[in-house]
Amino acid sequence: MGLTGFFLITFLIVHCGLNSMIFFNDGGQTFNHWAQFMGDNLIIRTMEIGLFLFLLLHVIQGIILWRQNASARPVKYVVNHPEANSKWYSRSMGLLGTLILLFLVVHLYHFWTPSRFGGIGSIEPLEEASLSVYNNQEVHNLYAAMQTVFKNSLVIVIIYIAGVISLCWHLLHGFQSAFQTFGINHKRYTPFIKGLGVFYSIVICLLFALMPIAIYLNWIN
Ligand code: HEM
């Protein structure tokens, strides 16, 4: 779980960094250019296959771990105060992971399927605005796709914010837990790793949450 977790943590940095280019507020020029570069790059496309395999593996490992935990203590404690030595989100990783998975189904339907398979599950205006010109080159206008998805639906914006909040709780435990899995647990370094995990989770999720909010509220056009 630690290894697949590290891979997904790295993916989120790249994904969030790339998407944050929409905040340049230049009509999506810079974002579309780099999104196209990533889409055309053979190494990135190969890693995309790895990403989906790792995601699947992470889910399967999670289910196995959850079942092992459940069968290790089939008879519940009579007195149990889990809050005394663990955070609720560390005990709810399965629930949070399931919410993220549900969010991902909606999310991939919005952006990934139309951009990869040209129109499956795509939304009307996306078809018209699917190409834009950048540096005399035609690029897929994923920025227009974002505008289409977020501009007119508060419900979708709320679904995204809920998905990102679930992700934030999941990462708050998952980040330091991945280090723990590799035996990196040291009096001196662990507080730093925990702090870095909190910083990472909050910054990544805040930036992700700001994307639908900024588009819906017309902060960026
Ligand atoms: C909330 C703000 C987010 C926005 C605006 C956004 C936007 C996008 C866009 C435009 C794509 C298509 C990229 C392409 O086809 O080249 C994409 C793909 C993807 N997103 Fe997001 N995303 C967001 C959050 C997330 C989160 C929180 C996760 C994970 C938990 C995630 C996971 C993915 C995955 C797995 C793909 C497909 C992989 C790929 O294209 O390489 N996204 N996203």
Give me 137's structure tokens: 């080159």
Residue nearest to atom 18 of ligand 1 (CA): 112
Return the DSSP state at 184.
Answer: -
Distance CA 216, CA 63 (A): 36
Name residues contacting ligand 1 (CB within 6 A): 15, 19, 35, 39, 48, 51, 100, 104, 107-108, 111-112, 115, 142, 146, 160, 164, 167, 208, 211-212
Q: Enumerate helices (H) and strands (E) in the chain, giving the number of each.
A: 10, 2
Distance CA 113, CA 95 (A): 26
Give me 26's structure tokens: 């230049």
Among the residue ranges 4-13, 84-93, 151-160, the one predicted with the least confidence is 84-93
Distance CA 164, CA 7 (A): 18
Average pLDDT over residues 121-136: 48
Q: What are the CA-CA distances from residue 55 to residues 3, 7, 59, 105 (Å)?
A: 11, 9, 6, 13
Q: Give residue 124's pLDDT band: very low, low, confident or very high (50, 70, 90).
A: very low
Distance CA 120, CA 114 (A): 5
**What spacing in Å lies between the alpha carbon of 159 and ligand 1's midpoint?**
14
Instruction: Name every residue whose Cβ is closer than 8 Å to that of residue 135 and which is 6 or more positions away in sequence.
Output: 33
Q: What pTM did the predictor assign? A: 0.86
pLDDT tens-digit series, residues 147-204: 988 998 999 999 999 999 999 999 998 998 888 888 888 888 889 999 999 999 999 9
In the chain, how long is the greatest CA-to-CA distance? 70
